[in-house]
Chains A and B, each alone.
Chain A
Amino acid sequence: MFAAANIEAILLTIKLASVVTALLLLIGTPIAWWLANTHSRLKPAVEAVVALPIVLPPSVLGFYLLVAMGPHGPVGQITQALGLGTLPFTFTGLVVASVFYSLPFVVQPIQNAFAAIGPGLLEAAATLRATPRDRFFTVALPLARPGFVTAAVLGFAHTVGEFGVVLMVGGNIPGQTRVVSVQIYDHVEALEYGQAHELAILLMGFSFVTLFLLYAFNRRATMLRT
């Protein structure tokens, strides 16, 4: 049903979103835990940095990432010294850019879920001999589960839906960086409206079903809690 090039773009998109979501859960959880528990004066600053991608035009974020990861940028210097070359216009570069781009969509639901638990149950666990690490894994994590589901779904969906950052950092290399959103753009440029439509309707359906399932899950989770 799909053209080979379209299938390649779809698979690449799924691969990118999966890798990025996994990384974001690993990176986002400690950030969210820190933000939910800290009284540090740095908290608003860190929250603002995490939330930046929500308001910044993707081109701005993409531009700075491009510069930073380029041959003369600080990140580029390090990757070159490590013998990795430079990241722009590679799949890895796209992953790094997407992690920044989707960070708030993962950190915020987890942070809210941690904050909602409050200190009370963790104190109770402490009086029952649980170490801080133990309390995190046996009380905080299980109780924050709905937040993690929301975070994973939003992180995945938002990565699938990115366009501007991909174009700035990843360019348009088939099998490397040409994800579905870029492929649609290509089709439209080439006046291949049929092909564009094929992918556009797919993304439309995917996004609706994903969000629908998420809201249905959250409703169930809320009802179970009360």
Chain B
Amino acid sequence: MNELATRFRHAYPGFGLDVDLRLPARGVTAIFGPSGSGKTTLLRLIAGLEKATDGYLAVGDAVWQDADTFLPTHERPLGYVFQDARLFPHLDVRRNLDYGLSRIPTSSRKVALDDVIDLLGIGHLMERKPDRLSGGERQRVAIARALGVSPRLLLMDEPLAALDQARKQEVLPYLERLHDSLDIPVLYVSHAIDEVARLADHMLVLDAGRVVAQGPIIELMARADLRLSRDDAEGALIEAGVAAHDESYQLTTVEFPGGRLSLPRQARDVGQRVRVRVLARDVSITLAAQTGTSIINILPARITAVTAAGASQCVVSLDLGGTAILARVTRKSVDVLGLKPGLDVHAQIKGVALLK
């Protein structure tokens, strides 16, 4: 199974969904878009919780829906994590986990539930009823329960959206561990770009029920035209390797095609692959390499595009020699410096965040 092919066309009151997609059935694919863009609807259609008048869905070789077929939800080999956990209130955690597990034949149990319980850190909660769990614990149990059926596809509908910032930070590392240790393709619905930046390999951008873009997350995050962040927090992702640590200044240097960046000392081994994020608003542009500046990350770059962003701002796309980043500058600066595609400049990078 390496591909998920889907075509749905359905009119809802005040909203129409029209998608025709091929998604890689491996790694984490983020389904991203603003509220009301049809993300959850798309996930529910894939799960068979809703039925489109015109729909086709195949996961690998298995057709789940076409003109003559509609596999009911309980016959689709998927796992679903709802935004609101939806644990059964009359069952304790152990029996919630067993609910799905006991309903699949032993021969198709591929995920070791005990490992998942360890991975999600919920072993000490087994005797508790859901109303005695915190929001973060509930969501972790819900994820384990969904994995208990050894799904061929895991659907996650904003699993962190109902949690406060602290709980989000509690659950995110578990999601990353799942990604690294389980070979189950995940469709991850979210409207939070920072979650997507951390977790996803591939991204699908929806708006008003239509597909705006899809592709590898690194590519899409470097596209200024997608306006992925509404609060000016757009920024490119860079896949890099840890090159060196500077113990005296407590800095870590990472290396990628086109340059190196220093960031505060990270507890990573040299050679390890990491993903860092460079926010566009943390990048400024100079025509000549500056000296006498406190900024330590200065890289030569070539402008590939200038995109207007609001009345006073522009987002400049930069190529660092194989790696793309974005810079947010004023429209005035664009005119004064004569910034245009093809121009060689220097990018001054004020901040770099390690994502994973």
Q: Which residue of A lies closest to B73 (CB)?
A: A126
Q: How many residues on the A side are at the interface (Cβ–Cβ under 8 A)? A: 18
CB distance from B294 to the nearest CB of A (A): 53
Q: Determine how close the nearest CB of chain B comes to the CB of A136; give it in whole angstroms.
A: 13
Q: Does A123 contact B (CB under 8 A)?
A: yes
| Interface-centre pick from A128, A139, A143 (highest chain B CB count, 10 A) | A128
Tell me if A115 counts as interface (CB < 8 A to partner B).
no
Residues of chain A from 60 to 102 with CB closer than 8 A to chain B in the complex: none
Asked whether, in the complex, the Cβ of A123 is within 8 Å of the Cβ of B84, the reply is: no
Contacts of B99 in A (CB 8 A): 125, 128, 130, 138
User: CB-CB < 8 A to A134: which residues of B?
Assistant: 74, 103
Interface 1/0 per residue, B51-73 and A, CB below 8 Å? 00000000000000000000011
For A135, give the chain B residue with the smallest CB separation: B74
Q: Which of B75-83, B241-249, B265-273, B347-355 contacts A (4 or more CB under 8 A)?
A: B75-83
Taking a contact as CB atoms under 8 Å apart, the answer to whether A143 and B146 are in contact is no
Q: Is the interface of B mostly helix, strand, loop or mixed?
A: loop
Residues of chain A lying within 8 A (CB to CB) of residue B49: 123, 126-127
Question: Assuming the A-B contacts A120-B84, A142-B90, are A126 and B100 also in contact, with contact meaning beta carbons closer than 8 angstroms in the complex?
Answer: no
Find out whether the CB atom of B89 lies under 8 angstroms from the CB atom of A127: no
Contact call B86/A124, Cβ cutoff below 8 A: yes
Q: Are A129 and B86 in contact (CB under 8 A)?
A: no
Flag if B104 contacts A127 (CB, 8 Å): no
CB <8 Å contact, B74 and A121 = no
Contacts of A129 in B (CB 8 A): 74-75, 100, 103-104, 149
Check B74 against A131 for contact (C-beta < 8 Å). Answer: yes
Contact partners of B89 in chain A: CB under 8 A: 121, 143, 225
1/0 per residue, CB under 8 A from B, across A2-31: the answer is 000000000000000000000000000000
Q: Which residues of B contact A131 (CB under 8 A)?
A: 74
Q: Is the CB of B149 within 8 A of A124?
A: no
| Contact (Cβ within 8 A) B86 A126 | no
B80-107 interface (Cβ within 8 A of A)? 80, 82, 84, 86-90, 99-100, 103-104
What separation, in Å, do the CA atoms of A142 and B82 have in the docked complex?
Answer: 22
Taking CB atoms, residues of chain B closer than 8 Å to A139 are 88
Across-interface contacts of B88 in A (CB, < 8 A)? 121, 124-125, 139, 143
B72/A128 in contact, CB under 8 A: no
Nearest CB in chain A to that of B101: its residue: A128
Is B47's beta carbon under 8 Å from chain A?
yes
Q: Collect the chain B residues with CB atoms within 8 Å of residue A225's CB.
A: 89
Q: How far is the CA of A132 from the CA of B48 in the complex (A)?
A: 14
Contact of B47 among A127, A138, A142, A143 (CB under 8 A): A127
Q: A120-B84, A120-B86, A121-B86 are in contact. Are A127 and B79 (CB under 8 A)?
A: yes
Do A128 and B100 have beta carbons less than 8 Å apart? yes
In addition to A123-B82, A123-B86, 14 A-B residue pairs with Cβ atoms within 8 Å of each other are: A120-B86, A124-B86, A124-B88, A125-B88, A126-B49, A126-B72, A126-B74, A127-B80, A128-B148, A128-B149, A129-B75, A132-B74, A139-B88, A143-B90
Nearest 3 interchain pairs by C-beta: A128-B100, A127-B80, A129-B103
